[in-house]
Chains A and B, each alone.
Chain A
Amino acid sequence: MYVLRRLPSLIATLLAVSILTFLMTSLLPGDPALQILGAENATPEAIAAVRAELSLDDPLPVRYLHWIGDALTGDFGRSYRTNEPVSQAIVERLPVTAEIGLLAIVIALAIAIPVGMLSAYRAGTRTDKVISSTSFGLLAVPNFMVAILLILIFAVWLGVLPATGWVNFTDNPVQNLRSALLPALSLAIAEMAVYTRLLRTDMIATLQQDFVTMARVKGVSNRRILFRHALRPSSFSLLTVAGVQVGAIIGGSVVIETLFAVPGVGRLLLEAVLVRDLLMVQGVALVIAVSYVVVNFTVDILYSYLDPRISHGRSAARV
């Protein structure tokens, strides 16, 4: 089966990711023991004691094996800084980031698909040019800038959405959506532009293929050609990039969650890095990396759904 064939490479990737995550965080300058103790308590003896307690003086491979061994059982340890179990922090915060990220993708796709199709269908016309230049413009604007503008417009001037803050879905679903909207929109705007451009290019190519001409000849309506015949074969690049862009969304969440004061994993990671909360950084970075790998693995699987030829081991015609 296709999924089974891909599994070994998935496991190898995850292993590499965990080693890299561990190494990079362990090699950060700044002694975590100093952070834990606070400067005024940091006598050399106290630092040595804390380092011993946290096994910070063990060789890196030994520390890695201990850490990954515990991590596999779901135990990422407790944060040095907050004394909070790392796994609990992640479980509390991942849904926030996931909700904003998903909402961003949904918003981006909901706008990009019709707009990209329109742009392809009207390729070369003024409509196409306006869409294209707008897309490029949006791509060029950094998300923190978009965020501040959105806050100004929707919160400060219009007063229709909160400027900052987060309400849990379980506490109030409507308020939850309101608090997620601006952060999601800030992330969606650049994505939307990327998706629009990609879909336009692929769809122009598809619309020139024989089966589309055939459908036209048979008198099938434009709408039906676009949505029923052309969209699916045009969506490979879109899907691939949507998967890859999950990374951009996670990266963007570090900035966006801080700006909107939203308690997601991005903000958790940032604060942990700043104070050398190693176990928290390693746990969060691993979970983020694994999510990314899994998302892209899923995208791979989806290819075979979009184009059954892939799962039969033949390369798709488009490649």
Chain B
Amino acid sequence: MRVHRRPMRGPWKRALASVGLVGLLLGSAACGGGSEDGNGDAEAGAVSEAVEAGDPVEGGSITVGLEAETNSWMPHEGTFNQPGLNVAYAIYDPLMQRSADGEVRPYLAESLEPNEDLTEWTLTLRPDVTFHDGTPLNAEALKTIFDTYLKGTGSRLAAQLAQVTSLDVVDDLTVVYKLAETNAAFPDLLVGASGWPFSPTAAAAAGPDAGANPVGTGPFTFVSWQRDSRLVVEKNANYWQEGKPYLDEIVFRPIPDEDTRLASLQSGDIDVMQSLRQSTVIRARDLEGVNNFEHLGSNSGGLTLNTSRAPFDDIRVRQALVHAVDQEALIEVLGGSGVTPPQTQFWSPDSAWYSEKVAESYPAYDLEKAQELYDDYVNDPERSDGKPVGTPLSFMFQCPPDPSLNELSQLYQALWQALGAQVELQATEQAAWIQDMLARDYDTGCTRVGADRDPYLVFDDAFTDGPLNMTAFQSPEIDEQLEILRTTTEVDARKAAVEEIGLILNENVPNAFSGGTLTVLATKEAIRNLDGWTFPDDTEGNGANASTAMWGHVWRVE
């Protein structure tokens, strides 16, 4: 977690920051990447003094500007990215949450205990917790939610819950999740939408409109929602965590445009602004009277190589292409120079799973080596694409149409053409591009790599038989490490397995990276404790992780 607090500045400085908006619009800042613009402390990984939260203050209302709207608030219907998670953690409580040191611990649940072989997980609820509509949160409620909704037809959670064969009621406050096989990463599922209890009575009453009328156990109760405009929640007076929440009301407003969201924070229309855009993070650091709660998420920009297709089935080609890429230049094109460190693995340096050893093993920018590997393949009579010796590689690079991604594509093209390859660029609309990747009907292209989830879930999706293995890369060595991740809860053993997988991946490079994603919640100084949330037993939480806050712990001074 990084907290940036800007020193006080004159009004002219603020005006200049605003003019930056126009500059960006005209394309100048966008092209220049907004790098060394006199912004002295904007180096990657900069940490400035923490903001003193002080003592909690009761009352007040805040408005939060989010980067997007969410389609539905029912956990099994919604697509919960960072904006959606922010709202969800106001209305719902997760059964489990992640602590500052990356451990998954009970939050709404009182405990979660596995059996010997990690196939049965017994979850105990806290007594006397009720949903906002008065329905008690008990074992029966969890079972109804699980059977009727989470496992129901059309549930978006179907794939991740496929491993749970049943949820059985033990007594009024105890249930058992029975898994088809051992899974040490199971608790991580209950951090996300599968672990957000919602009132089964309210859901049944609302029918198809339940997604617009969420009823949870969270610190705030839902008041109203006008799609694409505002969602209002108010203090839950009967909240199970004594003394919380502090705020009386939160208004969440989706403001999709980065420039106008930032302008809204400047003009005071909103008190908090969420962003994943590097150029916005840079500009937010320059605002007067704004604290920036930054976090390097583990979801980074990257490259996907289709290893089921020649020539990318040959390790020399993949290594050559990655050695030929200057990641710093990619980051500059994406506007992240000065704030976004190069990414070397699936985990950001802010993640508990990050490994220094893996970082060192990432293929360095080395044109000579790249050329050597490239020539070796091209001049190999046995080359996998069956073309005559000496024929240059020719392939297509796909990326969604977006100004900065277009520039990124052109940079890749230039770097690889320098090796002698013929690279055709194609801007493929997001929806169609995802479809191509799922069908493995592509050569190479840009994509997002990694997620802030348990490594077993991330790597199992990415490098086994499932539909999400878009690079088609598999290896017995990875399977071996996955087996360790699946069968042990022992943290050091798991970290070692994650490190091992990282090393294998950096050797084989089915993916490469184009810079991490620095996320921010930029807030007015009056907003406090955005990153200071704790578990009910006072264990420190994982802060404003990837631009999401636990709103029940936030207060405002003034």
Chain A residues at the B interface, C-beta cutoff of 8 Å: 29-31, 34-43, 46, 78, 81-84, 89, 92, 144-145, 147-149, 151-152, 155-157, 159, 162-166, 168, 258-263, 267-268, 271, 274-276
Contact of B228 among A30, A159, A168, A271 (CB under 8 A): A271
Closest CB in chain B relative to A269 CB, distance in Å: 11
Given A83-B211, A89-B227, A261-B254, the answer on whether A31 and B269 have CB atoms closer than 8 Å is: no
Extra contacts, 19 of them, besides A163-B267, A166-B226, A168-B226 (Cβ < 8 A), are A29-B435, A30-B435, A38-B79, A38-B159, A40-B159, A40-B466, A41-B156, A83-B72, A145-B25, A152-B18, A152-B21, A152-B263, A155-B267, A162-B267, A163-B266, A165-B264, A166-B230, A260-B260, A267-B256
Interface pair B431/A275, CB less than 8 Å apart: yes
Closest CB in chain A relative to B351 CB, distance in Å: 21
**Residues of chain B with a CB closer than 8 A to A258's CB:** 256-257
Closest CB in chain B relative to A308 CB, distance in Å: 45
Q: Report the separation of the CA atoms of residues A162 and B268 in the bound assembly, to the nearest whole angstrom.
A: 8
**Residues of chain B with a CB closer than 8 A to A84's CB:** 212, 227
Given A84-B212, A145-B25, the answer on whether A163 and B260 have CB atoms closer than 8 Å is: yes
Contact of A164 among B226, B227, B260, B467 (CB under 8 A): B260
Chain B residues at the A interface, C-beta cutoff of 8 Å: 15, 18-19, 21-22, 25, 65, 69, 71-72, 77, 79, 154, 156, 158-160, 208-209, 211-212, 226-230, 253-257, 259-261, 263-264, 266-269, 429-432, 434-435, 438, 461, 466-468
**Residues of chain A with a CB closer than 8 A to B461's CB:** 40
**Residues of chain B with a CB closer than 8 A to A260's CB:** 260
Q: Report the separation of the CA atoms of residues A144 and B209 in the bound assembly, to the nearest whole angstrom.
A: 35
Interface pair A30/B432, CB less than 8 Å apart: yes
Interface pair B429/A30, CB less than 8 Å apart: yes
Q: Report the separation of the CA atoms of residues A162 and B260 in the bound assembly, to the nearest whole angstrom.
A: 11
Interface pair B25/A261, CB less than 8 Å apart: no
**Residues of chain B with a CB closer than 8 A to A164's CB:** 65, 253, 255, 260-261, 263-264, 269
Given A149-B22, A156-B18, A159-B267, the answer on whether A261 and B467 have CB atoms closer than 8 Å is: no
Q: Report the separation of the CA atoms of residues A165 and B466 in the bound assembly, to the nearest whole angstrom.
A: 42
Q: Report the separation of the CA atoms of residues A275 and B70 in the bound assembly, to the nearest whole angstrom.
A: 12
**Residues of chain B with a CB closer than 8 A to A166's CB:** 226, 229-230
Q: Report the separation of the CA atoms of residues A29 and B156 in the bound assembly, to the nearest whole angstrom.
A: 22
Nearest CB to that of A81 among chain B residues? B71
Closest CB in chain A relative to B364 CB, distance in Å: 32
Nearest CB to that of B77 among chain A residues? A83
Closest CB in chain B relative to A7 CB, distance in Å: 36
Interface pair B431/A261, CB less than 8 Å apart: no
Closest CB in chain B relative to A266 CB, distance in Å: 10
Can you report 30 A-B residue pairs in the complex whose CB atoms are below 8 A from each other? A29-B429, A30-B431, A30-B434, A38-B156, A40-B160, A46-B158, A78-B208, A83-B77, A84-B212, A89-B227, A148-B21, A149-B22, A151-B260, A152-B18, A155-B263, A155-B267, A159-B268, A164-B260, A165-B255, A165-B269, A258-B257, A259-B257, A259-B259, A262-B228, A263-B228, A263-B229, A267-B228, A271-B69, A271-B228, A275-B431
Given A78-B208, A83-B77, A83-B208, the answer on whether A155 and B434 have CB atoms closer than 8 Å is: no
**Residues of chain B with a CB closer than 8 A to A78's CB:** 208
Closest CB in chain A relative to B195 CB, distance in Å: 17
Q: Report the separation of the CA atoms of residues A161 and B466 in the bound assembly, to the nearest whole angstrom.
A: 51
Interface pair B227/A155, CB less than 8 Å apart: no
Most-contacted residue by chain B among A29, A148, A261, A267 (CB, 10 A): A261
Interface pair A82/B156, CB less than 8 Å apart: no
Given A29-B432, A155-B263, the answer on whether A261 and B228 have CB atoms closer than 8 Å is: yes
Q: Which 8 A-B pairs have the closest CB atoms?
A: A30-B431, A29-B432, A263-B229, A263-B228, A155-B267, A261-B255, A163-B264, A41-B159
Closest CB in chain A relative to B164 CB, distance in Å: 15
Q: Report the separation of the CA atoms of residues A89 and B435 in the bound assembly, to the nearest whole angstrom.
A: 28
**Residues of chain B with a CB closer than 8 A to A274's CB:** 430-431
Closest CB in chain A relative to B374 CB, distance in Å: 32
Interface pair B269/A155, CB less than 8 Å apart: yes
Q: Report the separation of the CA atoms of residues A163 and B263 in the bound assembly, to the nearest whole angstrom.
A: 7
Contact of B211 among A37, A40, A82, A159 (CB under 8 A): A82
Given A262-B229, A263-B227, the answer on whether A156 and B266 have CB atoms closer than 8 Å is: yes
Contact of B434 among A34, A156, A159 (CB under 8 A): A34
Interface pair A29/B431, CB less than 8 Å apart: yes
Q: Report the separation of the CA atoms of residues A30 and B400 in the bound assembly, to the nearest whole angstrom.
A: 13
Closest CB in chain B relative to A217 CB, distance in Å: 54
Interface pair A261/B256, CB less than 8 Å apart: yes
Q: Report the separation of the CA atoms of residues A42 and B159 in the bound assembly, to the nearest whole angstrom.
A: 9
Contact of B260 among A35, A37, A148 (CB under 8 A): A148
**Residues of chain B with a CB closer than 8 A to A147's CB:** 260
**Residues of chain B with a CB closer than 8 A to A92's CB:** 226-227
Closest CB in chain A relative to B255 CB, distance in Å: 4
Contact of B468 among A34, A39, A165, A263 (CB under 8 A): A39
Interface pair B25/A82, CB less than 8 Å apart: no
